[in-house]
Amino acid sequence: MSELTKLTIAQARDKMAKGEFTAVELTEAHIQAMAAKRNLGAYIVETPDLAREQAKASDLRRQAGQAGALEGIPLGIKDLFCTKNVQTTAASRILEGFKPQYESTVSGKLLDAGSVMLGKLNLDEFAMGSSNMTSYYGKVTNPWKSKADPAKKLVPGGSSGGSAAAVAARIAMGATGTDTGGSIRQPAAFCGITGIKPTYGRCSRWGVVAFASSLDQAGPMARDVRDCAIMLGAMAGHDPKDSTSAPMAVPNFEAALTGDIRGLKVGIPKEYRPDGLSDEIQKVWEQGIEWLKAAGATPVEITLPHTKYALPTYYIVAPAEASSNLARYDGVRFGLRVEGSSLDDMYKKTRAAGFGSEVRRRIMIGTYVLSAGYYDAYYSKAQKVRRLIADDFKKAFETVDVILTPTAPSAAFGMDENTDDPVTMWLNDVFTIPTSLAGLPGLSLPAGLDAAGLPLGLQLIGRPFDEETVFKVAGVMESAAGFTATPEGV
């Protein structure tokens, strides 16, 4: 049974179509694997009974010739997606016990495609973080171990750290993630898996607990490029319930994996070589460029001059939107309530008890930059700089087809490192934030290992709604890398 957890989504799909095993058998193998690896803290809620029911229904549909694109595939759902009658917490105490009476559009689409839900995956509280250390339900441990210090526990990245750890540890075949400033791509890099943040508007945000509404975007996380393409095809599509959902047709992303990138031009931004960039990251990046040249693509140096302003811009825009979105958690309608001597006192006590330190920090920053006298000085100016960052990419894509950069400035770090200084933690997203501010698709895939045997990721950035080219180039790079990043013992 354990061999079934080592399959990719595409392999499992094809083998079930041939009748080699059933969805029930595949699901049971993953339920057993989940139980054996609870020490990772990847799941907040496990739903084995529901998964078994869904797997049985899946086998019946297959027998009736009604198999969907993800028929019988066991997936984990990030606990930011509302799931009907299953607790949804955003990893926060303030939502403990909340069971939505509706299904998010994305998780609903995955169910409609025949998938099986194994449970709700851990994350940084309200998706705010780069390490998965801020969850009220406990830290998530990266299944990878450093050869230099095998006893040291490593972070899986964030905020989708539970999703990345579950896929890497083979306790989910794929998982949903959300990406606001890098929360799919950075944990994908840290855990040696593939993850894509699609173009803003490609996937519906309806039923996803909001962090920063102009940045949040759902996307798939899986073991390889093909699996991500299969998942995104099921997740994407226009949703009239979401005003930011783009009325665009969904291409066959899997069909884009032709292996032919001859004649494509690949942008290499000089601004992504900051002082102090590690030699190992630099080496992997250069290797990625060589792979693309060997496949017939042409590297072109480009400039994205406003990149240096991306981090401060993001940390004005995102907290401002968060302070507005999180105002709804007041102890009145749902979730935690701490009684007080008055209505205002109840608000204060509930929010103080319900929110963790990182969430409170960002709410305070956001409230400050939106306050009278500071809105024009900070928020309004940040929006103007955001437009300049987007224009840089627009100009670059006049001459190149895709852009190649590192995903993160380092490999996964220890749980006891970098956590005292929030600014140091925020720097983990320095390579991913510009893509988010511009609303572009960005994919991270494993491209090598560092000296300690930890995975390093490279990021491909595409034109708006051109995920097909991103997948095509990523597939070629994956083949050139010639390895599947797998933690020892998995």
Strands 217-222 and 174-179: antiparallel
For position 333, what pLDDT does the model report? Answer: 87
Q: What is the rounded CA–CA span in Å between residue 326 and residue 301?
A: 41
pTM for this entry: 0.96
159 is catalytic: yes
Unique residue bearing structure tokens 């694109």? 69
C-alpha count within 13 angstroms, C-beta hemisphere, residue 16: 32
Percentage of residues in the chain having pLDDT higher than 90: 91
The mean predicted confidence, pLDDT, of the chain is 95
Strands 194-197 and 174-179: unpaired
Mean pLDDT of all residues in 371-399: 95
**246 to 130, 135, 183, 202, 254: CA distances (angstroms):** 28, 31, 21, 6, 20
Query: 298-314 pLDDT, tens per residue?
Result: 999 999 999 999 999 99
- The catalytic position among 107, 130, 159, 204 is 159
- Decide if pLDDT at 228 tops 70: yes
Helices (H), 72-112: 105-112
Of 166, 478, 167, the closest CA to residue 292 belongs to 478
Query: 412-457 pLDDT, tens per residue?
Result: 999 987 666 665 665 678 899 999 999 999 999 999 999 999 999 9
For position 426, what pLDDT does the model report? Answer: 57
pLDDT band at 277 (very low <50, low <70, confident <90, very high): confident
Residues 6+ apart with CB under 8 A from 77: 83, 107, 110, 117, 119, 120, 121, 175, 176
- Decide if pLDDT at 210 tops 80: yes
For position 356, what pLDDT does the model report? Answer: 96
For position 373, what pLDDT does the model report? Answer: 87
Q: List domains and CATH numbers for the chain.
A: 1-490 (3.90.1300.10)
- The catalytic position among 78, 109, 145, 197 is 78
Q: What is the rounded CA–CA span in Å between residue 430 and residue 407?
A: 9
Q: What length is written for the chain? A: 490
Mean pLDDT of all residues in 363-378: 93
Q: What is the rounded CA–CA span in Å between residue 329 and residue 334?
A: 8
DSSP H or E segment with residue 300: strand 298-302
For position 420, what pLDDT does the model report? Answer: 61
For position 424, what pLDDT does the model report? Answer: 61
For position 358, what pLDDT does the model report? Answer: 94
- The catalytic position among 107, 163, 183, 204 is 183
- Decide if pLDDT at 219 tops 60: yes
Mean pLDDT of all residues in 326-341: 93
Asked if residues 313 and 431 have their Cβ atoms less than 8 Å apart, the reply is no
State the amino acid at position 30 in one-letter form: H
Asked if residues 106 and 347 have their Cβ atoms less than 8 Å apart, the reply is no
Mean pLDDT of all residues in 138-146: 97
Q: State residue 406 phi and psi, 5-degree precision.
A: -65, 160
Question: What is the DSSP secondary structure assignment for residue 303, as one 8-state letter?
Answer: -
Q: How many CB atoms lie within 10 A of CB 483?
A: 12
For position 488, what pLDDT does the model report? Answer: 79
78 is catalytic: yes
- Decide if pLDDT at 1 tops 70: no
For position 418, what pLDDT does the model report? Answer: 63
For position 334, what pLDDT does the model report? Answer: 86
For position 382, what pLDDT does the model report? Answer: 96
- DSSP secondary structure string, 30-98? HHHHHHHTGGG--EEEE-HHHHHHHHHHHHHHHHTT---TTTT-EEEEETTB-BTTB---TT-GGGTT-
Conformation bin of residue 482: beta by default, left when phi > 0, alpha when psi is -120 to 50: left
- Decide if pLDDT at 363 tops 60: yes
Strands 402-406 and 265-269: parallel
Query: 32-73 pLDDT, tens per residue?
Result: 999 999 999 999 999 999 999 999 999 999 999 999 999 999
Query: 278-291 pLDDT, tens per residue?
Result: 899 999 999 999 99
Residues 6+ apart with CB under 8 A from 279: none
pLDDT band at 482 (very low <50, low <70, confident <90, very high): confident
For position 126, what pLDDT does the model report? Answer: 97
For position 485, what pLDDT does the model report? Answer: 74
Strands 74-78 and 116-121: parallel
- Decide if pLDDT at 105 tops 80: yes
- Decide if pLDDT at 196 tops 90: yes
Q: What is the rounded CA–CA span in Å between residue 322 and residue 7?
A: 38
For position 64, what pLDDT does the model report? Answer: 97
Unique residue bearing structure tokens 């139980």? 35
- Decide if pLDDT at 276 tops 90: no
